[in-house]
Amino acid sequence: MTDRGAPIVIRDVSPGRPGGSPAKGLLGEPTEVGATIFRDGHGIVRAQARLRRVAPDPGADVVTELRAQMDDRFTAEVLPDSIGRYEWVVEAWTDRYATWCRDLRAWDAADEDVEPEFAVGAQILDDLIEAAPPALTDRLVDASSALRSLSCSPLVRLGAALDDAVLAIAAVCVDPTDHTVSPTRSLRVERPRAAAGAWYECFPRSEGGFARGVSERLEAISAMGFDVVYFPPIHPIGRTNRKGRHNALAANDSDPGSPWAIGSADGGHTSIEPGLGTLEDFDRCVATATRLGLEVALDYALQCAPDHPWLAEHPEWFRHRPDGSIRYAENPPKRYQDIHPLDFWCPEPHRTELWSACRDILEFWIERGVRIFRVDNPHTKPFAFWDWLVNGVLDRHPDVVFLAEAFTRPAVMSELAELGFSQSYTYFTWRVTAADVRSYVEELTWGPGAGTFRPNFWPSTPDILFGPLRGGSPGVFRVRALLAALLSPSYGVISGYELCESRPASPLNEEYHDSEKYRIVTRNWDQPGSLAPFLTTLNRIRHDHPAFLRLDTIRFAPTDHAEVVAWTRHDPTGRPPVLVVVNNTPDTTAETAVHVDAASLGLPAQYRATDELTGESWTWHDGANYIRFDPQIREAHVLVLMPLPEDHRP
């Protein structure tokens, strides 16, 4: 809290919380900082932000002037030049010289005798000389001397007092008289992948492991334009209580088990399932992915199969029943007999040992070149643990990205984002009507969590097959992929999505029938009707139009059909705007008018609309434009809007 003994009040400093986790910024994008600043009386207040990188390596102070806005709000944009954690404060003071000059003008305009005031102005300048940049002190000394010079006429001395150059120097001198500093805030600047990217989830065991088919599959994933290939857990899978196909409690000898049942006699979280290959094979896979322009993301699941070495080595790290047995993971009425949860609140010193061991898992894989982690069920672990772990890792390795797999209450998801998770899974999977999609995206873009909660849209996951995708047509799969890819800066699909795998476990169960979580799946990736070309086009559009990699460029456009949703992307760098129009019920015909405000997009009354999906072009105009969606022809338009060529203008 601001010192109440000071005449200047600094409050509502943003972004960030005093003493809290760092606010979020992205390298290459300015971060707006600001505060409400005022003082008693009529003195002119100046303010600045002082920013300094503190991790992973300390840097020099960078000072940015805060400009006064409406209602005593002072703001500025800061643009750090490297990733890492920064600390910053707001500093404010009274510009006594500018205040004195303002009053001097008023007295002079009223024909008051201003000559007695010159000594006051000279004294203020004398006070500021020590605070002035060394190269500018001579100018202040000269001005002070001119104000005191009795050999100069009052008019000359008045001109010296009101010299714009002197006023500019005085404005940047931090006057120590009432210099006030806000509590320190933190800002973490992350690389762009922390907010934007196209993800593809791939089970290595279904592709033959790291020594064989995974590298070939990486070629196809890269060719589709994805940025990240995410592997579910690659560690040894427990034998005790191993799950069979369809999540059966009894497994036969050929069942591989769930990858999330981590740990066996072959090792734990820093080992690889023998059927997938060796650590050296994994290293070669990472190198191949890097060569192809892909980043590898690993699952970080803090739980243990009954055979995990930790159960024998550290039984104190687990929850025990009164009879001494270790509890299975539970979500009543469900029981997960193939895994045991860790007890993150076990007594000291065991708690520190456990937390450190969990950190060491990340350090192990970071050392092997992994910089992205999809964190399994973080909402079931303590917030204090994530605050300690995530921020500690990011201080040492600022290029690491954490994706929170937390399908839970909004407040909990928001808290995880506040604690440092780079991005999160979302409710997009369950937002299936056009109205729900629009309202959810507007909430993410402009709601209270905007700027902290970074979404990652997945139409489905290995656990969740919901809504129109259940038994859905290829058109439905295309529409859900398009919505995810062109509404959210980050999105992802699971292996098999391009083949429109759509059979649910049952009419009431959200899961897939015969889920890949419990079996090895062999697919014909070249079968007719694959959506791989369509996904390739979506990723190419995202690459060609960077506005799709930001949330704040979205503006929804009105349509006359309840299930046709339209939005524009206006690129702040000057690229042409893009209009996306989607028939959210692609198996039915839809006709509508889309209402476009051409002037707000910087367009003339008539303009060219060119479809990125088909290459077709039309002449459109300000206001309502007719569209018809036929299931046999198209489900969507992605229209680049540009002025008509000179020879086509009316």
Query: Both tokens of residue 609?
Result: 């609309």
Measured on CA atoms in the order 357, 363, 368, 369, is the torsion positive or negative? positive
Cβ neighbours of residue 561 under 8 Å, at least 6 residues apart?
590, 591, 592
CA–CA gap between residue 319 and residue 380 (Å, rounded): 14
Query: Both tokens of residue 641?
Result: 């809007």
Phi, psi (rounded to 5 degrees) for 147? -65, -35
Q: How far apart are the first and last CA of the chain?
A: 62
Task: Please give the single-letter amino acid code of residue 124.
Answer: I
Catalytic choice (91, 307, 376, 612) = 376
Cβ neighbours of residue 447 under 8 Å, at least 6 residues apart?
none
CA–CA gap between residue 179 and residue 175 (Å, rounded): 6
Distances (CA, A) of 103 to 44, 112, 139, 237, 557: 11, 11, 22, 78, 51
- Residues of 466-487 as b/e, b for ≥16 C-beta within 10 angstroms? bbbbbebbbbbbbbbbbbbbbb
CA–CA gap between residue 455 and residue 486 (Å, rounded): 12
Residue 143 contacts residue 97 (beta carbons within 8 Å): no
Catalytic choice (227, 295, 405, 415) = 405
Neighbours of 168 (CB within 10 A): 12
CA–CA gap between residue 650 and residue 642 (Å, rounded): 15
405 is a catalytic site residue:
yes
The helix or strand, by DSSP H or E, that contains position 591, with its residue range, turns out to be strand 590-596
Angle between helices 154-161 and 118-129 (to 10 degrees): 40
Residue 9 β-bridge partners: 38
CA–CA gap between residue 292 and residue 210 (Å, rounded): 16
Q: Is 26 helix (H, G, I), strand (E, B) or coil?
A: strand
Tell me which residue has tokens 């805060």: 66
DSSP for 600-637, written as a single string: GGT--SEEEEEETTT--EEEEESEEEEEEE-TTT-SEE
Closest Cα to residue 346, out of 380, 316, 302, 384?
A: 316
CA–CA gap between residue 192 and residue 228 (Å, rounded): 13
Helices (H), 63-188: 96-109, 118-129, 137-148, 154-161, 164-171
- Report CA 138 to chain centroid distance, whole Å: 48
Query: Both tokens of residue 435?
Result: 């109205």
Phi, psi (rounded to 5 degrees) for 245? -60, 150
CA–CA gap between residue 62 and residue 79 (Å, rounded): 10
Query: Both tokens of residue 35?
Result: 């505060």
Phi, psi (rounded to 5 degrees) for 595? -100, 115
**Angle formed at CA 450 by CA 449 and CA 456, multiple of 5 degrees:** 95
Q: Is 594 helix (H, G, I), strand (E, B) or coil?
A: strand
Closest Cα to residue 84, out of 49, 56, 58?
A: 56
Q: Catalytic residues, which ones? A: 376, 405
